Structure 1
Amino acid sequence: MTFLYRAKRLMAGAVTIAALGIGSAQAADKFDLSPEQPNRLRVEKNEKRIEEVKDFKFVEDGVFTVGISTSGNLPLHDYASDSKTVIGYDVDFAQVLADSLGRKLELVSVAWADWPLGLTSGKFDAVISNVTVTEERKQKFDFSTYRKDELGFYVKAESPITTIREPKDIAGLKVITDAGTNQEKILLEWDRQNVAAGLKPVEVQYYDDDAVRNLAVQSGRADVVLSVNATQAYAAALSGKTKLVGTLSGGWPITAEIAVTTRKDSGLAAPLTHVVNDLIASGAYRKVLDTWSLGSEAIDEAKTNPPGLPKSGS
């Protein structure tokens, strides 16, 4: 996947509060959208990991500087109710990393397509902005994994569909997905396998408008939505009108993971991986995920530079 393709894929799965017909007050009842974030989890500094980064030259003394996209894409990142403070899962996760390293967190807003240049030029120490590990990116950057790159199958809350795990489970269904994305590619391959096996074909539907897509599911014109799990999980938690019935890797059939991205051979990746594993062991890692309804995307173990998605054409 190229940087632009990944960005398009992420935006295709975004679900806005307005599209769901949910007021900001109702959203605030479910999630803390305040700029103050009084309930944000904080953790104690980790002396062992601080020692591991003593020779790393941070952008600023006493600070962990993180590049992050600020485009509206909750639960990952967006502006708070004051329209200027960035909040979301990525921010909360960056905070516990900074706490563990005994440093203040500094966020630097960066357009998603611009993070590679910003990181290599030294504008920030790391990028935490839904970056998937790929073999192409590993040539220039190091990675410390922290979340599954996951797609989700969602149906309306009252749907009789309870589980979607494999291609045969979608045979004959009306499935909405996002054009030009990994999820569309996977859906079409599942449909091809079904048809080859003599099963009913899928009716694939596309909607540019989230409100229209949501209405199609609720009215029964569509059975299932296959899209980015994070935004769908957030929408389901807000509205209560949809439910998760299955997930699969965004790189299916290969497992894909999201990772903290750092400069190649900078020496920061391994310590950050250790920090994530410490947070997993303490339970803090899962608490941050659950705050934003992302528990299904938890990993069991963080890894440094694991196998990534293959280069295009390979």
Structure 2
Amino acid sequence: MAFTNRARLLVAGAIAIGAIGFGSAQAQQKFDLSPEQPNRLRVEKNEKRIAEIKDFKFVESGVFTVGISTSGNLPLHDYASDSKTVIGYDVDLAQAIADSLGLKLNLVSVAWADWPLGLTSGKFDAVISNVTVTEERKEKFDFSTYRKDELGFYVSADNPITSIKEPKDIAGLKVITDAGTNQEKILLEWDRENVAAGLKPIEVQYYDDDAVKDLAVQSGRADAVFSVNATQAYAAGINGKTKLVGTVSGGWPITAEIAVTTRKGSGLAAPVTNVVNDLIASGAYKKILDTWNLGPEAIDKAQTNPPGLPKSGS
């Protein structure tokens, strides 16, 4: 699969959005946040995959209509500097899939809580908006995986800690996490295992403000942050003040993956999975990830409806 453009980096343009708590000047120096996206990676149409969708009835003929959240969540998706155009990793992937299928891309803004109804009612052909595969969701939807659901441990750039991979690595540390989240649940379970094994307990810290959180890490009041990898990777790419020292699956101890979501039994999931695998094989997939500093979240192979996170109580 040939490239028609190269991945973007370092394109100037002021930004009107918050860039997850960091300055717009820093964001524009590292990422293209312009509405034009002049160097977005594009790929050529793939006749083999186009043949696989010949019987699929799209919302609009010749168009791949995709539901996507527009709430501020870069590098995944958010508004560009014009406050109207949606940009981010999920947008770039959606464009590459549309290109491969010989379709135009139409993005439909949808609130997170509303995407299931929008998809089942036929408002869009697919949802590409950081949706994790779960067994409960698989009862109503089909999935084509495209990214790991990763949580990341980040420390200050000059911190001597180089690796956090398992519970014993956090013993005795002061760790910031997000209250009421899966990352908190994992962190507390790791701490429980450590204490049971006679290791030092951790000190868990919570901050609502990203700037205060960053200050705590830089000043040494906290050793590490354990939170969503994508947003932390984006922040690290912007300011260079933190570094990744370890990732954990968002479904720990089970592996969790993010997927393109389609209507159950619609016949679109398998072709989309094949397209993602084509993008992986060609190198386009990695280029899109690297554009948004998400290389550690790459998968080796896309799958259709793989095992998902279990239902609550399972």
User: What TM-score bracket applies, with the shorter chain setting the length?
Assistant: over 0.9
Q: 1:11 aligns to what?
A: none
Equivalents in 1 of 2:259, 2:160: separation in Å?
36
Q: 1:36 aligns to what?
A: 36
Q: 2:11 aligns to what?
A: none
SS of the residue 2:130 aligns to: coil
Q: Does 1:195 align with 2:202?
A: no
Cα separation, partners in 2 of 1:112 and 1:132, compared to 1, 3 Å: same
Q: 2:177 aligns to what?
A: 177
SS of the residue 1:146 aligns to: strand
| Letter matched to residue 168 of structure 2 | K
| Letter matched to residue 89 of structure 1 | Y
Q: 2:12 aligns to what?
A: none
Q: CA deviation at 1:27?
A: 1.1
Which blocks of at least 5 consecutive residues in structure 2 are unaligned?
1-16
Cα separation, partners in 2 of 1:58 and 1:117, compared to 1, 3 Å: same
- Contact 2:147 / 2:259 at 8 angstroms: preserved in 1? yes
Q: 2:206 aligns to what?
A: 206
Equivalents in 1 of 2:118, 2:287: separation in Å?
30
Q: 2:19 aligns to what?
A: 17
After TM superposition, the score normalised by the length of structure 2 is 0.94
Q: CA deviation at 1:26?
A: 2.4
- Contact 2:49 / 2:101 at 8 angstroms: preserved in 1? yes
Equivalents in 2 of 1:19, 1:99: separation in Å?
33
Equivalents in 2 of 1:288, 1:183: separation in Å?
26
Which blocks of at least 5 consecutive residues in structure 1 are unaligned?
1-14
Equivalents in 1 of 2:84, 2:218: separation in Å?
34
Q: Does 1:226 align with 2:226?
A: yes
| Letter matched to residue 258 of structure 1 | I
Equivalents in 1 of 2:81, 2:307: separation in Å?
39
Q: CA deviation at 1:16?
A: 4.7
Percent identity between matched residues is 86
Map 1:86-235; keep pairs closer than 5 Å. 86-235=86-235
Cα separation, partners in 2 of 1:213 and 1:252, compared to 1, 3 Å: same
For residues 193-238 of structure 1, the C-alpha deviation after alignment (integer angstroms, 9 at most, x for no partner) is 0000000000000011111111110110000000000000000000
Runs (4 or more) in structure 1 with deviation over 4 Å come to: none
For residues 56-85 of structure 1, the C-alpha deviation after alignment (integer angstroms, 9 at most, x for no partner) is 000001100000000001000000001110
| Letter matched to residue 310 of structure 1 | P
Q: CA deviation at 1:36?
A: 0.2
For residues 93-140 of structure 1, the C-alpha deviation after alignment (integer angstroms, 9 at most, x for no partner) is 000000000000000000011000000000000000000000000000
After TM superposition, the score normalised by the length of structure 1 is 0.94
SS of the residue 1:305 aligns to: coil
Q: Does 1:283 align with 2:294?
A: no
Q: How many residues align?
A: 298
SS of the residue 1:237 aligns to: helix
